[in-house]
Every structure is written in structure tokens, then in C-alpha cells.
Amino acid sequence: MDYVNGPGRNHLFVPGPVNIPDQVIRAMNRNNEDYRSPAVPALTKILLEDVKKIFKTTSGTPFLIPTTGTGAWESALTNTLSPGDRTVSFLIGQFSLLWIDQQQRLGFNVDVVESDWGQGANLDILASKIAADTTHSIKAICIVHNETATGVTNNLATVRNILDHYQHPALFLVDGVSSICALDFRMDEWGIDVALTGSQKALSLPTGMGIVCASPKALEATKTAKSVRVFFDWNDYLKFYKMGTYWPYTPSIQLLYGLRAALDLIFEEGLDNVVARHSRLGKATRLAVEAWGLKNCTQKEEWVSDTVTAVVVPSYIDSSDIVRRAWKRYNLSLGLGLNKVAGKVFRIGHLGNLNELQLLGCLAGVEMVLKDVGYPVKLGSGVAAASGYLQNSTPLIPSRI
């Protein structure tokens, strides 16, 4: 029984955790098992191979860690770096800020490149730092692919081009928590050394699994990395991989079966089709925002996100009132503005196992809330803009052709 039950379904449009498909819920509805039996290692072996596909890697080694994205961050850092190592990291929003804070608390020498919230990572500054670093004192570039606080997506291919142009050996570490399985992501092609995501985002699972994928170069770095690590130590996993039992400690059996179902849904649709669907939903949301006469927090088209849109409200409106009203009156969950943009933006998450009609329901709810809080929106304007675009761009469902 819900603590605060409401009729119908909750319309969950925060940028994670997201809606869980019925197929995944059913797959997880099972008893515990002995993870040392032959069944769980057999399942894990197949999952590890299939997980590589969502990163678009053939050479990477994945780790399924019972943790959140924050734990996955720590895993990426402590397995590849030593205290005092210099990293370059980009502060563009709340989650990049938190990752920088973690790097600093772990004892790394963090070279912070800060931009206004709503802008992407300043890669011109990165290029100048890499060009000047002839002694290769920079050991890692740490970047958030998709900053969910502001709805900004960074260009990872450009980061790789900069490193290659100057023949710089720095590790390339990427937070793909709100991008992998939703945005175009190419671990091998872009030379990413560690990529990570969380189960509660585009994979559409419950929170509790951090998925990390390490390149051969990253695995080699573990041999010299002196950061203290126990729970997140990749070497423990690798030892059990070789033994064929796969787990250094007890996994979540239910999440493993949920992951199997989630991957099956993604592969049935086709990963490229999943990315295209997110592109449509992102475009439709931005068209709705424009029709409402409001602005996107993202300052340039090149940075817009197809998994979350941060909507800037007029100064006479507190965006927290929009989020609160949506939940209390319409059973609609929207994302709050965080830190520097608290009270200034609300966020519409459009990622995971989500379709066009679900999004249109959310946009209709947002319009009613905007009217409730005194914004002179024309009801139906955003829905019309979004549905007009979607009606012309939505293909047949691949499995039903």
C-alpha cells in the first residue's frame, strides 16, 4: 500500500529513477537463489557479454556492482588512479559537481574547468591544458556525458580527438549514467577507458546496480593505482571471473533477472532504434517548451539532451511550486531544480522504456500545472507542437512490422 496513494498510475517523469516495464517487474518477481549454484554463474556469463553491447565495446571488461552511480564513480577512480594524481574535470551542473567533490575527497589533484550552468564542458580549455602538459602530469579526464541537472550533453568524440591530436596518454573516464542506452555512446570508437551507468536510468531497472566497463588500458592502470579500494576492487571480480563463479560477494539475484529482461527489450527494439526514440522524445519536448513561450536551460543547440529537458520559469514563479503542484494534484512527478538552478527550472525526464503517448500525457499535465501557478500558457499548445512532430516522425514499432 502506498503511503500517499492516488488514483491511477503515477506519471514518473523525473530523469531517473524511471518507469520499470512490466516485463522487468515480472522477471524480478522471484525467490532468492544460491548464487554459488551453476545457474547464477551461467546467467552472469551471458549478461557480461550482452552488457558490452550497450557500451558498444568488444574489448571492454564489464563489472556489475551492487551500488548506485556514485559507487560506480568511485570504482572508476580508485581502480585506475593514485592519491595525488592530477585529473581534469568539468563543472557544469550538480552531478558533475558531486563527481568533482568525490575526486577531491579521494585525494586527487582536481583541475576544475567550470562553465555556466546550461553550458557544456569547455573543450577549448581542455585542448589548451592538454597541449601545455608536455610532461603528461594529467592522468585522467573525467567528464559527465549528460548533465541531468541542466539537460546538457557533452561531445565525447571531441575529447578523444583532443587527446589523440596531442598524443596524450591520459585516461578517459566517462559518467554515462543518464546517457548509456539512450544517447549515442561508442566506447571503443571514442577510446573511452572507463564508462559507467546506473540501473535506474535508461535501462529502466530499480536502483541498485552500477555497471562499469573498463578498457584494456584501464585494466592495466589497476596494476599501478594505489588508491585504497576493497568493495569496488576490480581485481576481486577478475579473480572470480577466471574461476567461472563471477561473484566475489552476494549479488542481487532479482536485479540480475531484471537486467536480463531489460536487455532483451532493448535488443528486441534495437539499440539504434532506442537512441532514435529518445531523439524523437527529446525533440518533441523541446518543441512543447518553445510553444509554451518558455526557454530551455541548455544554452546552445549542440548541447541539448535527449534524456532530460530543464525548463526555465519566469522570475515570478518558483519552479518548486510547479513540481509540488504536479505531484499533489495530477500524480505527475517532475524533477526539481538543483543547487544553482533551484527554484529557477523544473526538469522533464524522457528516458527509459517510454513511448510517445506517455510523453504527451506528461506534457498535458505540465500545461495544467503551469496554468495553476499563474503562467499564461495556452492549454494544448505544447501538446499540439509535440504531437504534430511525433505524428510525422514516429515509425512503426519494429516488432510489429
Structural domains of the chain ordered from first start: 11-18+271-400 (3.90.1150.10), 23-267 (3.40.640.10)
Structure confidence by residue, pLDDT tens digits, 164-192: 999 999 999 999 999 999 999 999 999 99
Q: How far is CA 204 from the centre of its chain?
A: 11
Structure confidence by residue, pLDDT tens digits, 303-353: 999 999 999 999 999 999 999 999 999 999 999 999 999 999 999 999 999
Amino acid at 345: V
* Residue partners of 393: CB distance under 8 A and separation at least 6: 280, 283
Question: Could you tell me what percent of the chain has a pLDDT over 70?
Answer: 99
Query: Element (H or E) spanning 197, and its range?
Result: strand 194-198
Q: Which residues carry a binding-site annotation? A: 347
- Per DSSP, the three-state class of 75 is helix
pLDDT above 80 (res 3): no
> 271 pLDDT band (50/70/90 cuts)?
very high
> Which is it for the CA torsion 73, 79, 85, 86, positive or negative?
negative
The stretch 195-224 carries a mean pLDDT of: 98
Average pLDDT of the residues of the chain: 97
Q: What is the DSSP string of 7-44?
A: SS--EEESSSS-PPPHHHHHHH-S----TTSSHHHHHH
Structure confidence by residue, pLDDT tens digits, 258-269: 999 999 999 999
* Residue partners of 124: CB distance under 8 A and separation at least 6: none
First to last CA, the chain: 40
* pTM for the whole structure: 0.97
Q: Which residues pair with 347 in a beta bridge?
A: 310, 335
Structure confidence by residue, pLDDT tens digits, 54-79: 999 999 999 999 999 999 999 999 99
Q: Which residues carry a binding-site annotation for substrate? A: 347
